[in-house]
Amino acid sequence: MCHNFGSPDTNPIPADFFDLGSDPSTSTVCLRGVPLGIPQFGNADTLISRSADPFDRCDLPSGTSSTVNIEIVSLSLESVDPITVTHNGGQNPELWKVTVDLSPGGLPPSTPPRTLTAIKSHCNGGMYTSVLYVQPRFTFTKISNPSEVRVLDTGIVGTPPVELVQSDPHPWVSDIDPFLGAMVDFCSDFHANIAQNNPLLECNCNGNTRRDLCDIEQGTSQDCNANARPDECDISSASSQDVNLDGIPDECQIPESLGIGNDDKCIGGANAGLACAEHADCPGGVCRVKNRFITAVIPATATSHGIKVSLVGIDGNSVADPTNYNGTDRWVGAPSLNVSDGISPSFNAGKLQCVFASQDWSAIGQIQLYGDVVVPGSTYDVSVCLAEVGPCSVALRIGTARFGDVIVPTPAVNFQDVQSIVAKFQGAPTGPSKTRSDLVGAVLLPNNPINFQDVSANVSAFQSKAFKTVVTTPPATCP
Q: What is the pLDDT of residues 154-179, one digit of tens each?
A: 999 888 898 888 889 999 999 887 66
At residue 257 the predicted structure's pLDDT band, cuts being 50, 70 and 90, is very low
pLDDT(354) > 80: yes
Q: What is the mean pLDDT of the chain?
A: 82
Which helix or strand (DSSP H or E) is residue 140 part of? strand 136-142
**pTM score > 0.85 for this model?**
no
What percentage of the chain has pLDDT greater than the value 70?
A: 82
Instruction: Please state, in angstroms and rounded to a whole number, the distance separating the CA atoms of residues 44 and 190.
Output: 17
Mean pLDDT of the 418-432 span: 77
pLDDT tens-digit series, residues 68-123: 999 999 999 999 999 999 999 999 999 999 999 999 999 999 999 999 999 999 99
Report whether 271 contacts 410 (CB < 8 A).
no
pLDDT(446) > 90: no
At residue 320 the predicted structure's pLDDT band, cuts being 50, 70 and 90, is very low
Instruction: Please state, in angstroms and rounded to a whole number, the distance separating the CA atoms of residues 380 and 180.
Output: 41
Lowest mean pLDDT among 81-90, 202-211, 294-303: 294-303
What percentage of the chain has pLDDT greater than the value 90?
A: 37
The pLDDT score that the predictor gives to residue 180 is 67
pLDDT tens-digit series, residues 6-25: 777 778 899 999 999 999 99
DSSP readout, 177-192? -GGG-----TT-S-EE
Kindly report the number of other CB atoms within 10 A of residue 115's CB atom.
Answer: 14
Domain boundaries, the chain: 2-168, 257-469
Which helix or strand (DSSP H or E) is residue 172 part of? strand 162-173
Sign of the dihedral through C-alpha 424, 428, 429, 430:
negative
Amino acid identity for residue 253 in this structure: Q
Comparing C-alpha atoms, which of 212, 302, 296, 298 is closest to residue 249? 302
Comparing C-alpha atoms, which of 203, 185, 177 is closest to residue 60? 203
Peptide bond into 376 cis (omega under 30): no
Question: With the CA atoms of 346, 351, 352 and 358 taken in that order, what torsion angle do they form, in degrees rounded to the nearest 10?
Answer: -90
pLDDT(300) > 80: no
Instruction: Please state, in angstroms and rounded to a whole number, the distance separating the CA atoms of residues 35 and 77.
Output: 8
